[in-house]
Structure 1
Amino acid sequence: MVIDEFETERPHLLAVAYRMLGSRAEAEDAVQDAWLRYHRARDSGDDIRDLRGWLTTITGRICLDVLRSARVRREAYPGQWLPEPVVSRLDDPSEQVTRRQEVSLALLVVLEKLTPEQRVAVVLHDAFAVPFEEIAAVLDITPAAARQHASRGRKAVAEGQARHTADLAEQRRVLEAFLTAAASGDLHALAAVLAPDVVAIGDGGGVVNAGRNAILGQDKVARFWAGLFSRLMREASDVTTEPILVNGDAGMLVTGTYADGRDLLTVLSVAVADGRITAVYSQLNPAKLGSVVDR
């Protein structure tokens, strides 16, 4: 009975933890820790009247500890950091429902810039409607202070998030136009689908060369991607692109084999607004692509 009750809440808890941590692996560990605490609480005879609320609060506390310890690791991370993508098939009818429940990479990227306290407050209140009194208990502060963390976090999100308003059909159209132009080296066509303030971020985790800094601006991003595709055509064989969903949005899985035998594996996704790409995200870190390999 205890297991059944918990398993009913597991998808919700995974959604909470992933939004807070940006890593499916870390989210699963956090939820498993929540399960152990729940099991101990039940064995101790604790009276848990609101199971979802209790588990959400416990998961929030666990994630807060992870975020605080992760700040040191993230500061020492080699190059740019991107969340671990949630990749699913584009042709799976069930994904049309699932994608509405996903959180975009554009949002996760800017959530990463918040303090742990701001991130917990924003995610719990704005995404899951947890009252500030309960958030205050998670953060061990007053409700007024919890509101302030949420307010500051929202402001940072509004100012820092890449514009991303296009529906899935427009995302796919713009992404395909971008890749076609990049593969042909057509800088004029590339510029036509890039917003003037576009940003390109690649995460290689220090294992795959992805550039240590974000690339800013229409011209620089266009030249970078045209050069990248030109280099891929010279250095890799059997290069294929497969349309996928990345966190519920349009994306592309790029695979192939380098001349030295190394595998080429990249998950590409974009943020799109007003018919143009505002951000390009390239996840190349093998440690964050395990779910892609296993799918």
Structure 2
Amino acid sequence: MSQQSETLQLFLSYRSELLRQANRITRDRAQAEDVLQEAWLRFRAALAERQMDEPLGYLSRIVRNLALDSARRSGLESRLFQTEGDADPLQVPSETPSQEAAVISGFELRAVENALARMPERMRAAVRMHRIEGIKLKDIAKQLGISVTSAHGLVAEGVTRCRAALRDRQ
């Protein structure tokens, strides 16, 4: 008998026991079946690479580890995602801001825009490039024809002025 057929025979003869082992850990028959299928694929691949003294022990360890991983993943998913039937639509937070938050954000935006308008042109350009467009300081320095240290200083001073404008608004 070939090694592949011996391996398959070993798996099939202990399949129900391995399924019970996986089911005890996952507490879900379908999930346990998935674990067993994945275990078989990994077991067969491992046997193709090397000879094992205790193939049943190795297979059992694969099933156990995969079942534990699957149970952990299911637990995490159930904590992160509620099913539609569990969620009370009135208790689900809205992604749109409240009217108050929108008004406050508008005031803050205007304060920052005013602060930017009062800045020297180079400083305003450096702040916009770095904070709004996400350009790196070395690229800002190259575009403005200044050193990286000077670009950093312009951005830092500009951000300080924007923060001061927000504090003064309050």
Higher percent of residues as helix: 2
Same fold (TM over 0.5): no
TM-score, normalisation: structure 1: 0.26
TM-score, normalisation: structure 2: 0.43
Higher percent of residues as strand: 1
Higher RCO, 1 or 2 (CA under 8 Å, sep at least 6)?
1
